[in-house]
Structure 1
């Protein structure tokens, strides 16, 4: 496949996106500040954190806040999770005023507190349920629906093609496969051959829906490799973007046949402070400084002689303390 053709627009139902390099939904990470930063760094499309359909139906204030759009978020998806359709119509009534470009259904989360309710990857045990969920959304709204799922519950029950068909039967406009089973969690390694199988399946059955891939995308070069090896339509960076929003612009450069810009220590320092300021604007200084600790340690990962900086950041509760803690980076 020609390198220059790897980066291209994609269409999800009635929504056309300018490119095919996405930020995946990540609970505890893809809040408004992080999505804002990733868009600035080149992400073509972004997803909210997981939003509970039941919480929406109850009009929970914190749940509703998860759907707020970032100031620079021209196009975004709200990701819903649920274990049944009981509250879905009420949830959609709360969601529609936010006018997301896509509604994404989470059928991949492996966390026990989610799966024990029948949501997340537990939905893969009930393919008929995803048909019902997608059909309800397409009946109730004009918003395109995408479904994100895994290869199966465990190695003995890999049913991703059956599940994909069930989602398509309901009217799904896009599919995203995290190429691991639920029982694998995030352990090495994602099986990208399953992405190839899924793409070939949809082509053989004449479905004109884009297929996106997730799993083991930790470097910008991984996007090129996944697209070339599998023939899918786009990639979703998840853990690879944490502490590294630069991965989006770098991946796009590589996919377009250009050399990616090297990321300097100073660029990381500037990004940390930009991220912190976005956090402060959204959550207030005290909460922001606490939330930024995990992000800062991710930004500093791999940079030698930063253990003292990390220790200082863990105790920082004001912006000035972050500035002081990060000052040694200027000399690195």
Structure 2
């Protein structure tokens, strides 16, 4: 059995394997999570929420907490500008019945950081301690924190951050191997992750330590495990247009879907999209980014991608895909290169339409 296909215990929560889907803003909605779960993701999260929006009982924020009946294990992530606001949000989320709650201290988006949230925590170590301690008092559910190596390369403080969240009694932590100032073109720093994980290992054998960053293939997930000592990996951009990455990592071998397998998953995703959002223009617009990611890597796909980027209903999207399918052999394999090579060829998140990226929303996030 692959290391990643083994169950793992986070406090009183048993997770079926060690490959998690990150709480991706504007992406990790119900339809996408269902697809990733079906392809093997052991733990998925609702996309990052704003503690301020929760305190205002913002309707859209509560809609983002939706959970499908098939989601047996589901986490949620929150960020906010003060310890009290985050702790209040954690108490609210605890009553919503989420299986685990994460505090985001690593989001690098300018709007989020400008509001004192996400990576802004890394400049204020005392607030890290206060926030986690107050949040710990607000819930008995497994509590975790996700953070980066530091705010800048000149101000690496991953070991101190790890010590502080451990002292405040988190049950799990995730380290992303970059600083806030570094872009995705900067390779993930596995040594930096290892330093934080070593602090956790020395603290308690019961802690779950998760590595994150550049996980585009099983080979890289295994490299991260061996070089950092992490107990699990969290997949972010590597799942965009490629939810099969969960199957690949838990099975411990490269996997590229045939066109027939690919089409089945994409059509199922559209069905889940319609089930969750309805038969309307918004549903189609929200699906566009996924369709662009899914269609990357097939022959002569530029024209179909251009058309899909303008679809206004899901029936139209299905027709376009089925027409395109007539010209592609069922056994055609999407990529000829390995996942690690693919990651260096293009960054799928660059294709996101940021105006449609709901993320934490504008509520309480203006800089």
The residue that corresponds to 2:346 in the other structure is none
Corresponding position of 1:166: 164
- The corresponding residue for 2:110 is 112
Q: How far does the alpha carbon of each residue in 1:193-239 deviate from its partner, in whole angstroms, 9 at most, with x for none?
A: 12222222222334531110111111233212211222210001100
Give the structure 2 partner of residue 276 of structure 1: 270
Q: Does the 8 A contact of 1:276 with 1:288 survive in 2?
A: no
- The 5-angstrom pairing of residues 1-332 of structure 1 reads 4-206=2-204, 208-254=206-252, 259-285=253-279, 286-326=281-321, 327-332=323-328
Partners of 1:216 and 1:268 lie apart in 2 by 23
| CA contact 2:28–2:46 (8 Å) conserved in 1 | yes
Which position in structure 1 is the counterpart of 2:342?
none
Alignment check: 8 A CA contact 1:176 1:213 kept = yes
- Rounded to whole Å, the distance in 1 between the matches of 2:327 and 2:69 is 34
| 8 Å contact kept, 2:178–2:188 | yes
- Say which is worse superposed, 73-82 or 280-289, in terms of deviation: 280-289
Equivalent residue of 1:86, what SS?
helix
The CA deviation at 1:71 is 2.4
CA shift, 1:320, in A, is 2.6
CA contact (8 A) 1:51 1:63 kept: yes
Residues 51-92 of structure 1 show CA distances to partners (whole Å, capped at 9, x for unaligned) of 111111111111112222232211111100011123334423
User: Structure 1 residue 93: deviation in Å?
Assistant: 4.0
Q: In 2, Cα distance between the equivalents of 1:231 and 1:210?
A: 11
Give the unaligned 5+ runs of structure 2. Answer: 329-367
Q: Which position in structure 1 is the counterpart of 2:331?
A: none
- Tell which deviates more after alignment, 49-58 or 82-91: 82-91
Distance 2:118 2:86 in 1: 15
Higher mean displacement: 14-23 or 233-242: 14-23
1:68–1:98 contact (8 Å) kept in structure 2? no
CA deviations on 1:264-306 (whole Å, 9 max, x unpaired) are 1222222222111211111122212111111111111111211
TM-score of the two chains, using structure 2 as the length reference: 0.85
C-alpha separation between the residues in 2 aligned to 1:6 and 1:77? 19
- Offset at residue 125 of structure 1 (A): 0.9
How far has the Cα of 1:116 moved from its partner? 0.7
Give the CA deviation at 1:39: 0.4
Q: CA deviation at 1:260?
A: 4.8
How many pairs align? Answer: 326
3-state SS of paired residue (2:76): strand
SS at 2:304 equivalent: helix
CA contact (8 A) 2:162 2:199 kept: no
What is the rounded CA distance, in whole Å, between the counterparts of 1:184 and 1:88 in structure 2? 26
- Aligned partners of 1:320, 1:99: CA distance in 2, in Å? 35
Counterpart contact for 1:35–1:70, Cα < 8 Å:
no
Which residue is 2:356 aligned to? Answer: none
